[in-house]
Chains A and B, each alone.
Chain A
Amino acid sequence: MSPSDPRPDMAAQIPHLRRYARALRRDPEAADDLVQDCLERALSRLHLFRPDSNLKTWLFTILHNLHVNDARRRGRRPDDIPMSESIEARAATHGGPGETLKIRDLGRALDQLAEDQREVLLLVGLEGLSYKAAAEVLGVPVGTVMSRLSRGRDRLRGLMEGGDTPALRRVK
């Protein structure tokens, strides 16, 4: 282990990688498999990590790439477990009945989003990545992150408030 060995810091990132993977994959086992692949990949590519770059961003990039490759192999959706199923169980432990209903709706609404919007929303809104870091993770320009975020949030809002997007309702 050299003085700049990032492995201890890597271990500290595991809970965050797990949270993000869980939000992407829903199924806890599948999510942890993804995290394990990510950590193994990261270790085997440790020489590619630049000490002056951000470890969290690097790890999330690897996780994202593995997720995309996996999803491509299996078809568009990463998993067939409906969001609402795992959500309802979890939501029951958070807050009162009103709170539960809201959270379940958010879970369902999130499920309706396009994968690329969902990922941005999770990276920025849940993991607290800067736009720049999210752009790096996803391999897209910052402008793309911002437009996906904007579309994703507005769609989510439409879904939660009316069951549909405002844009669609206006068409009728």
Chain B
Amino acid sequence: MSTPKTVDQTSLHAFVDGELDETARAEVEAWLAGHPEDAARVGAYRGQNAGLHGLFDAVLDEPVPERLRHAAIARPARAPWPAWARIAAAVVLLFAGGLSGWGLRDFQAGNDGVAKSFVEHAVGAHLVYASEVRHPVEVAADEEAHLVAWLSKRLGQPLRAPSLLAAGYRLVGGRLLPEDGRPAAQLMYENTAGNRLTVYVRAGRKGSDTAFRFVSEHGVSAFYWIDLPFSCALVGPVPREDLLPIARAVYEQLDKEPW
């Protein structure tokens, strides 16, 4: 049997909390056998955990109050079946697959005309500006506060630039664009490989909201939705499965309450 390795305080906690693998656990056990002070510590920590259970476990056996049971099942009264639910459902469908090759031309009645025109603008703006080397944006990300304040003012809605850093894309900047005589904004993002995504946004129109939609054309993919307060399209030369989580991140951050 070899001499036990020195065990630090952090490992003692990790030992108590079951955070160690088998080898590390055995090392701590060997250490404790020869170090009664640390063994007493471990005993005390375990005693504390047991004490906490003694104090509060009785709550687990109490019947759950009706108001809580209800709260976990019912939608709160203040939120009627909203656009996000349709969007969430559509996301599930898109996840499930079977909708590949869904093109711009497939849209038919009602809001589809609005949606089609919207995403065409978004894709067009992407194709024009994302390939631009010297002037991809009007206002660069180092002036993000100014950019956001300016675009918010022009769109008539408080906008913020979604952070896509988690997906590896940093904000390059943005520009103002015309869409049928109304202001729209394009935010551009870039990853270290130089791939660019654009988020195309304009103020939403009441009553014309749609679910989450996907289109692939001209070598780029786009997820888009017509909603309040913003209609938005995320466009990039990225396969659908890679674009979807980013689209969700954009949607979450454009939505009113971040959580």
Binding site for B on A (CB under 8 A): 2, 4, 7, 10-11, 14-16, 18-19, 22-23, 32, 35-36, 39-41, 43-48, 62, 65, 87, 90-91, 93-95, 99, 102-103, 106-107, 110, 121-122, 124-126, 130-131, 146, 149-150, 153, 156-157, 161
Contact = CB atoms under 8 A, between A and B. Distances in A.
A40 B75 CA distance: 7
Nearest to B74: A43
A15 B60 contact: yes
Interface residues of B, number: 44
B72 interface: yes
A38 to B, nearest CB: 9
Contacts of B58: 90, 93-94
Interface string B48-73: 11011111111110101101110111
A40 B64 contact: no
B54 A95 contact: yes
B68 A126 contact: no
28 contacts: A7-B72, A10-B72, A11-B69, A19-B59, A32-B67, A35-B68, A36-B71, A39-B68, A40-B76, A43-B75, A91-B55, A99-B54, A106-B48, A106-B52, A106-B54, A106-B55, A125-B48, A125-B52, A130-B17, A131-B19, A146-B13, A146-B14, A149-B13, A150-B9, A150-B10, A153-B44, A153-B45, A161-B44
B238 to A, nearest CB: 19
A87 B169 CA distance: 51
B48 A15 contact: no
A131 B84 CA distance: 33
Given A11-B69, A47-B87, A149-B13, 4 more contacts: A19-B57, A36-B67, A36-B71, A125-B49
B99 interface: no
Contacts, number: 122
B252 interface: yes
Given A4-B92, A45-B259, A125-B49, A39 B62 contact: no
A16 B60 contact: yes
B204 to A, nearest CB: 17
A91 B58 CA distance: 10
A124 B57 CA distance: 14
B9 to A, nearest CB: 6
A28 B79 CA distance: 27
B165 interface: no
Contacts of B45: 153, 157
A35 B76 CA distance: 14
B85 A146 contact: no
Contacts of B53: 126
Interface of B is mostly: helix
B71 A43 contact: yes
Contacts of A93: 58
Nearest to A105: B51
A33 B17 CA distance: 30
A150 to B, nearest CB: 6
B55 A14 contact: no
B89 interface: yes
B92 A62 contact: no
Central interface residue in A39, A41, A93, by most chain B CB within 10 Å: A39
A143 to B, nearest CB: 9
Given A41-B259, A124-B17, A14 B52 contact: no
A19 B19 contact: no
B73 A48 contact: no
B55 A43 contact: no
Contacts of A7: 72-73
